A and B are shown apart, each in its own frame.
Chain A
Amino acid sequence: MEETQFLNEVLEELKQYQISSKNRKIIKQQLLEHIQECREHGQDSLNDLGDTTTFIKDFLEMNEIDLHSEIKQIRKSKNRTGILFVIGFFTSIVTYPISQLLLSMFLTESFNPLHTNNSFDYNILYQIADNSWWNSLLMITSVSISILISTLIVFYIRKVNISR
């Protein structure tokens, strides 16, 4: 039980220091093997493993990762999450009407001067087609497009920030 706790704590902390999942998987395998070897040799694995803090400190040191700059980086990335959320929100607000406009231009009769329907009241946000089911379908398409584009933009910005 204590061994599992040690392993989980180590993996959780390594994740916080943005150690890749590939490297976390490697260290998990190595630790499991070490625990197994200790058992086979009749030794207390916890004595060999040491404490979590020392393990993380040594791991970062051996991988030439500066602990202090990593902490700063983690703090920065937490601030960035909020900024990314705002960017994503505004991107979706901008892309939705653009998508609605494009769909109403190419897939509806709203901008066709020859087609007149007095009962139809055009609204770019929720009424772009006079047929209700077609209007709903186009609205769903616009919502999906705006979510997709904002998600892609957020992921792209995040990736660029991480690789810097």
Chain B
Amino acid sequence: MDRTSLIKGHLEMCVLSILSKGKSYGYEIMKELEKHNLKLKGVGSIYPILTKLKDQEWVHTYREMTESGKVRVYYEMNEKGEMYLQKKINEWLELQQDIKSLLQSGLKGEHFE
């Protein structure tokens, strides 16, 4: 599995994590991911995720006028979203711990040989 696929697999959690800091919009979320070295090839993944978050009612959306007079769609996480994010983070940490323990046991095995 390459890095992009790994990012895609965790994109929902990453986007929710960005939104947990405050309201944001598609472009800004993408740039925030890039800041953390989580760059995706194109926008084909990010927008379906945002639509999914809205459909699942984990975020509210509303339109706001920008300074240039254009309409921007903002995504804001709600309580349901916060609960879901916490659940996902716990699952992720648990999985990470299990993988880490497996890898460490493999390394210890090498030392014994």
- A62–B48 CB distance below 8 A: yes
Which listed residue (A55, A57, A63) contacts B43, Cβ 8 A?
A55
Per the bound structure, the CA–CA distance linking A48 and B27 in Å amounts to 9
- A33–B43 CB distance below 8 A: no
Q: Which residues of A contact B50 (CB under 8 A)?
A: 30
Given A33-B27, A61-B8, decide whether A50 and B44 contact each other with a Cβ distance below 8 A.
yes
Q: Does any Cβ of A come within 8 Å of B66's Cβ? A: yes
Given A23-B51, A30-B50, A48-B30, decide whether A58 and B72 contact each other with a Cβ distance below 8 A.
no
Question: A134 CB to closest chain B CB, in angstroms?
Answer: 57
Q: Does any Cβ of B come within 8 Å of A34's Cβ? A: yes
Q: Does any Cβ of A come within 8 Å of B73's Cβ? A: yes
Residue of B nearest to A46 (CB): B42
Q: Mark B1-34, 1 if CB is under 8 A from A, else 0.
A: 0000000100100000000000001111010000
Per the bound structure, the CA–CA distance linking A41 and B40 in Å amounts to 19
- B73–A29 CB distance below 8 A: yes
Question: A75 CB to closest chain B CB, in angstroms?
Answer: 23
Q: Does any Cβ of B come within 8 Å of A27's Cβ? A: yes
Given A26-B51, A41-B27, A62-B8, decide whether A34 and B45 contact each other with a Cβ distance below 8 A.
no
Q: Does any Cβ of B come within 8 Å of A49's Cβ? A: yes
- B42–A51 CB distance below 8 A: yes
Which listed residue (B25, B44, B68) contacts A55, Cβ 8 A?
B44
Q: Mark A33-46, 1 if CB is under 8 A from B, else 0.
A: 11011101100000
Question: A22 CB to closest chain B CB, in angstroms?
Answer: 10
Q: Which residues of B contact A34 (CB under 8 A)?
A: 26-27, 30, 43, 47
Q: Does any Cβ of B come within 8 Å of A103's Cβ? A: no
Interface size classification for chain B: 20 to 34
Q: Does any Cβ of A come within 8 Å of B41's Cβ? A: yes
Q: Does any Cβ of B come within 8 Å of A147's Cβ? A: no
- A30–B49 CB distance below 8 A: no
Question: A126 CB to closest chain B CB, in angstroms?
Answer: 56
- A48–B45 CB distance below 8 A: no
Question: A50 CB to closest chain B CB, in angstroms?
Answer: 2
Kindly identify, within residues 25 to 83 of chain B, every residue whose CB is under 8 Å from any CB belonging to chain A: 25-28, 30, 40-45, 47-52, 66, 68, 70-73
Per the bound structure, the CA–CA distance linking A116 and B72 in Å amounts to 78
Sample of 6 more A-B contacts, CB < 8 Å, known A49-B43, A51-B42 = A27-B51, A38-B27, A48-B42, A49-B42, A50-B42, A63-B48
